[in-house]
Structure 1
Amino acid sequence: MDELRGWLDERVARHEFSGAVLARRAGTPVFSYAGGIAHRGHGVPVAADTRFAVASVTKMITAVAALRLVERGLVGLHDPLSDVLPAEHRPTALTGDHTLHHLLSHSSGLTNYHDDGDETMRSWFACWDRVPTYRARRPADLLPLFATLPAAFPPGERYSYNDANFLLVGLVIEAVTGRAYHDVVADEVLTPAGMADSSFEALDEEPDRLASGYQVSDKPYEKWLSNIYGITASPMPDGGMITTAADMVAFLDALRADSLVSAETRAAMTSPQVMATHNYGHGYGMEIVLADGEVAVFGHDGGDPGVSAIAVHLPAAETTIAVLCNHDRGAWPAYRRVLAALDLQDPRG
């Protein structure tokens, strides 16, 4: 662990990592770290209680909120979404065959609101020419970005990662509860999981202890650009929750203890509902990685302008790892180094 700490210190000194790391094995912390700069303009360092935006890691939280409503009978996993969503929230490509199962497993066939494979991020930033980021505060605010797009394939045909799926999950949550997504998720997930440092606050509310996100230039670490114009004003069901590494570990611990959803629902979340490759697929709101046909890793990673994060559990090793970073490129190298220090492997490499 001393070698791992030294490696992270070197990455911080070279501005190649800024964030927090926590690893817990069989309920016992085995490594924790905080380092880097939370706010470059004011020179505020990252501290143990610094909070970070975590992009698509949020999808796990959204999925649990929705599945708790399923367990209470407020919505069916296989009910037609056209019977659940109000007319103004139904994309034109939505049919009577689309269900919550398809949204949560990324098998809906609906078209995303941006090109997730565009590494230049031009597709992402083009969204904010149509819907300014400062107006993106509720899930419905992003509907104009995809509501009229044709479907890419029929529901259930195959896997295709799609942020729009989870915006619609958020709208389903609002439709069946009559409450705002952010409020429902706080009550259904954050509070019962003991995630006291997690929230869905708008950025212009100046959330306490939030690390500013920084986009790395094409020449790494020579120039930094705040992500304030590159992400939505408020967190969305598909990404943006504010949290800590400790809270993400607490969430995964609570999920595995079946204190958020039933054992049956948790098993469905953390096993593949649809496969993308021979060893990578998706459960409900969870990325699933297989090794020799068994689940080797479940959890989620996240990436936005100025954000990189990963929170996962490795069942065979009884180990949970969270790595949160307030710039684009830092989380995955740190995660891989943590795995090496713990003599663990992620089949994704």
Structure 2
Amino acid sequence: MKLFQCSNCDNLVYFENISCEKCGNNLGYLYEGEEIISFPANSFPVANPVNKEQTLIYCTNHKLDACNWLVSSESENEYCEACSTNHMIPDLSFPENRLDWQKIEAAKRRLFYSLHKLKLPIKFTFNDIPFNLTFDFLASDPNEPNAVKTGHYNGLITLNIQEANAAHREYVKEKLSERYRTLLGHFRHEVGHFYWDVLIKNNPNNLREFRVLFGDDSEDYSEALQKHYKNGAPDNWRENYISSYATMHAWEDWAETWAHYLHLMDMLETSFNFGLRLDPEISKVPNLRVACDFDPYDGADMSKIIKHYLPLTYSINSLNRSMGHTDAYPFILSEPVIEKLSFIHKVVRL
């Protein structure tokens, strides 16, 4: 992600900030301009620096402490681009639901930032039928805690809001022997299923190449799921897959790899904006010396992206271990995985 500053005092601010700690101004994110706008409290509507004929107000979910994005004051839709995709949210009369939902919305906005950088639309039409990205954020019945399953179906992504609870998420992570489990990771994985339908399923050329790399998508998904949870992943899965779950079915291999594609693009853009350079005090390992001097969203090829990404993962994992944390990126990018990432990079840019 790019870096942001308060446009009033130049203080460094985060993407999620709603106010500047230095000057006290309110902050709002303008999706179309990819920038944070600073303005005095109670000064609505504020000028739109991208479209001078418009003025801006907060998305209506700002009232619920769930959004800091700005929308046109003249728009009939009072929700921003991200919040407009919500089909269902949990009952906010329960304080724990409201807190979980706020965390979910924060992660979803980071997803939408990446989709916008990749110029990926969220609305499509196939055979005169609309196919739109939408979300259900649901709470499980306490008596049936596993009733709500996170998943995707025909453009609708369902997320169990318990995933916003760090203790629950860590419990599931350990139970399933996962090495990584985050809210943002969930969003990136599930939206991968949506873009498989958009970019692969409806494109015969892409579908042929997909099957060479990822396998047969026509295999029975339910049977593959049962087999995976009964037998687990093959012992040598790291040779060809980004995760053990990716071995379950071609669709899941795509979604897992898609999520990692978004991981690496976001990490590299952040590194570029920080001007990171790696020149480690270690001999005979020249491939660790890199300068993140390019924006990965500006057309860089995958070989260049991977060349810079791998040293970054080693450095960030080393920093995490220095703080007593587990690896931030506990994965290995084998050559077959890199080939799959390259395919995703290609179809996204077509």
Q: TM-score when scaled to structure 1?
A: 0.27
Larger strand proportion of the pair? 1
TM-score, structure 2 length as denominator? 0.27
